[in-house]
Amino acid sequence: MSATRKIKALTPPDIVSRKGETPLVCLTAYTTPMARLVDGVCDIALVGDSVGMVLHGLPSTLGVTLDIMVMHGQAVRRGLERALMVVDMPFGSYEEGPEQAFRNAARLMAETGCAAVKLEGGDGMAGTIQFLVARGIPVMAHVGLTPQAVNTFGGYKVQGRGEDAERILRDATSVSEAGAFAIVLEKVPSQLASRITADIAIPTIGIGAGSACDGQILVVDDMLGMFTDFRPKFVKRYAELGEQAEAAIAAYARDVRERRFPGAEHVFGNGPKAIKGGEPA
């Protein structure tokens, strides 16, 4: 009997080679079961710091710690075989300088088994990206709306409109030249994303950035409709699991209160030696 063929995991160079080819499919994952679901169809599984808002109920990503990212990264690693695993560097873990960034990125890679890290920021982060890449840490960049800078932006606003487009283009060019293997473009005008995609050598991965990017990423819970009251413009809902879950939980509650659950098919009998009067029959 032949041995089971081992699936080859994608690498950062594999992602770079997809520039201009079939679009890259990317989703977030925070748990082992979700990682198993996305692995079969996704090229990149991102353990995003959005986990703080999605699973931990935080008001933003700013409260996410390195320990949280390690815990969820370990969970996702157990569910992946093919997809490239990227882990977000949380707020405060890399902004101080290249040495701090290296220490924390090295910890993420060593403790989670991820193949790359992602950090936010453009021209100002180019030196840090170059420092990490030179020391064997592949980096995915992230420009445009960078959620860790939400207080600076004054909210989750579209970036790169009008004269601001040149800033976003400069950011994208800088991180590409610094050695990032891919770049997330978040909430920028589609025309700007198309220009950046044409101008830089690495794949662009859009979220609210139009279809011209080399790939697309969404928060998996958003596209599955896990939240009934959160509908950002750039998210297409491929399911309404939140509504289905609410209906299922309500049906369960009714069955319990009306003693319809558990039914006969859900309970266990006494077996051949029934207990009578405290002694085996």
Annotated binding site for Mg(2+): 49, 88, 120
Active site residue 95: no
The residue among 1, 69, 85, 71 whose CA lies nearest residue 35 is 85
For residue 212 the two structure tokens come to 């011209």
Asked if residue 176 lies in contact with residue 184, where contact means CB atoms within 8 angstroms, the answer is no
SS3 of residue 250 by DSSP: helix
Report the C-alpha gap between 281 and 154 in whole angstroms. Answer: 74
Q: Which of 21, 95, 96, 186 is catalytic?
A: 186
Burial of 99 (0-12, 13-18, 19+ CB in 10 A): exposed
How many helices and strands (H and E) does the chain possess? 11, 10
Annotated binding site: 49-50, 88, 118, 120
Annotated binding site for 3-methyl-2-oxobutanoate: 49-50, 88, 118
62 CB neighbour count, 10 Å cutoff: 16
Structural Rg of the chain based on CA atoms: 23
Catalytic residues: 186
